[in-house]
Amino acid sequence: GIFTNISAPHQENFSSFSEKVKEKMKLFRNTQTLIYCKDYAIIDNEARNLKNTKCICWSKSLPCELKIARIDKETDVTIISGIYNSEPVQIIIPFTDDASVENAIHCWLLMLYLGIKNELIQRGMSRLNPVAMRLEIKKGIGSCTLINDSYNSDLQSLAIALDLLNQQHQHPVKTLILSDI
């Protein structure tokens, strides 16, 4: 199983993030292996309570199986460097938003854990396509760039889209068009 993250969407039916994590963790109670980011302490604490489940983690700062050393965002790619089994590893993904980076690291760790060679992983990662209507960057008319993020409509997704917008330096003026959230 892969527990990707815990965030604000769908929080309205839970009294706390802890309650939501406990509820989501029920999905993994019969899994042999659970992959997650150890930087989310609330997830790590609950994962360690699962019986007969091997926890495989990645982190930017804590001891774990895949230690992320650097995340370098360029114009249209992100270079992620880390250490796995005491060996340096690296992938380049065709995304720069934080959510895609985090999701790619989860997938990367799974493939490393399954014994797939990092070179093969890199070939696959370089061919990833964006999810339709999720942070799509399109060339507009009048030398403008559009970011279509109509796939999600919540405050966290808006924050991610604004972060991506702030990474765009090709135009001095930026305009935000919002629908209902």
User: 116-163, pLDDT tens digit by residue?
Assistant: 999 999 999 999 987 666 677 777 787 777 777 776 777 777 777 778
Instruction: Say if pTM beats, i.e. exceeds, 0.85.
Output: no
Average pLDDT over residues 39-58: 94
> Does residue 22 or residue 170 have the better pLDDT?
22
User: 81-91, pLDDT tens digit by residue?
Assistant: 999 999 999 99
Q: Which long-range contacts (CB under 8 A, 24 or more apart) does 16-25 make?
A: 17/42, 18/42, 21/46, 22/46, 25/49, 25/50
Closest-CA residue to 164 (of 91, 94, 98, 78): 98
